[in-house]
Structure 1
């Protein structure tokens, strides 16, 4: 027996009765696939076996051939089935079980689609942010500009100092440059003269006969 799929986003395909003795046993394929969610579709086969005292006893319900469902999804479906069995024990419940499972499959498919769209949007925003940073660079503020300026000035001063020292090492200094570089040379001439004055010895005997010289006559002749 096969029923026409419903117009809902989750389709129900009734396949076959597997047997009727000793108890009815059949399987149903449920799928969430529709035109809008083809890539996110999930499906499974719901295998149902009645028991002797059904509905006072729970039927045996198994999930088989899951598609795009992981272990967590399957456990979620099994927990949902067990919850519905406990809530409907004593009443015909197979149709209820089918309904809640197909609704859950629809929710899972929509959740999968939502996660994929969120991930796609996240990647898009990340790419846009990286592209914006590539063109914007670092935004200039007063604080980071002053920090950069101080560092730049130090680097320039160091470069100038290194260049000056290199220039000095590559040429012979003039007396003026040596004088300007070494402040101790300001007093060198004075010290030299003082040391010379202190150490000069005068031979007084050289001047003993100077009274006999006619210096005035010589000076006059020179002036003439």
Structure 2
């Protein structure tokens, strides 16, 4: 069949499938707006197609951009939109990098279908790939949001967690505290005034453990 005839037949079929979505610029050039089943609603991608003279024996020239409705006229349930916000609180949309990735993937689909009319296959694959890419961005943003929340919670939790106390750290603190308050000098004066003997309380507070000290404390208790 003559390439021009095949192109004309494919275009007629596409016009019957996408009566509202297709815009024919000339017999070999047209665009198709493909709506996506995502949140926020109203997002679509626009497939640009141009037939080379030998199509379908060669791949069509394709380009994928953001559809006119995307980000401008979307309408969604508020609760559903909230579930698809990015980690900065904005609705999730495909960006320029995503459209470049979609164009590359659709070129692969076109190459797989060389020799036959391929635009419908490209349009169908584009819808699936775009929706999956959007879902992937939503999942990624949910993970980022959860990580951000956890980081905030961890910082808040640090306010309620003190430094663990060990015997060594307590002894060091106690030594510094007694030196700062001059307690050792005060007690030394008291002991000197009593002829060199300490009370049981003083022995305990100075941490002088041991059997001999326990005997001293017992003797002091009897005095």
Which TM class, normalised by the smaller chain length?
A: 0.5 to 0.7
Contact 2:58 2:114 in 1 (8 A): yes
Residue in structure 2 matched with residue 189 of structure 1 by the alignment: none
Q: RMSD between aligned alpha carbons?
A: 3.3
Residue in structure 2 matched with residue 133 of structure 1 by the alignment: 158
Where do 1:112-191 residues align within 5 Å? 112-135=137-160, 137-138=161-162, 140=164, 144-161=165-182, 164=185
Contact 1:48 1:61 in 2 (8 A): yes
Relative contact order higher in (CA < 8 Å, ≥ 6 apart): 2
* 2-structure distance, mates of 1:130, 1:122: 12
* 2-structure distance, mates of 1:130, 1:156: 30
Confirm whether residue 108 of structure 1 aligns to residue 133 of structure 2.
yes
Residue in structure 1 matched with residue 221 of structure 2 by the alignment: none
Unmatched tracts of structure 2, length 5 or more = 1-14, 71-92, 197-223
TM-score (norm 1): 0.56
Contact 1:42 1:105 in 2 (8 A): no
Residue in structure 2 matched with residue 30 of structure 1 by the alignment: 34
Judging changes above 3 Å, is the alpha-carbon distance between structure 1 residues 159 and 134 closer, same or farther for their aligned structure 2 residues?
closer
Contact 1:81 1:101 in 2 (8 A): yes
Q: How many residue pairs align between the two structures?
A: 153
* 2-structure distance, mates of 1:160, 1:126: 41
Confirm whether residue 75 of structure 1 aligns to residue 96 of structure 2.
no
- 1:61 CA drift (Å): 0.8
- 1:2 CA drift (Å): 7.4
- 1:128 CA drift (Å): 2.9
Contact 2:36 2:127 in 1 (8 A): yes
Q: What SS class does the counterpart of residue 147 from structure 2 fall into?
A: helix
Judging changes above 3 Å, is the alpha-carbon distance between structure 1 residues 100 and 124 closer, same or farther for their aligned structure 2 residues?
same
Contact 1:47 1:61 in 2 (8 A): yes
Give CA deviations for 1:139-184 in whole Å, capped at 9, x if unaligned.
63xxx4223212112203422559849xx9xxxxxxx99xx9xxxx
Q: What SS class does the counterpart of residue 159 from structure 2 fall into?
A: helix
Match for residue 14 of structure 1 among 21, 43, 58:
21
Judging changes above 3 Å, is the alpha-carbon distance between structure 1 residues 154 and 18 closer, same or farther for their aligned structure 2 residues?
same
**Farther-moved stretch of structure 1 (64-73 vs 97-106):** 64-73
Structure with higher Rg: it is: 1
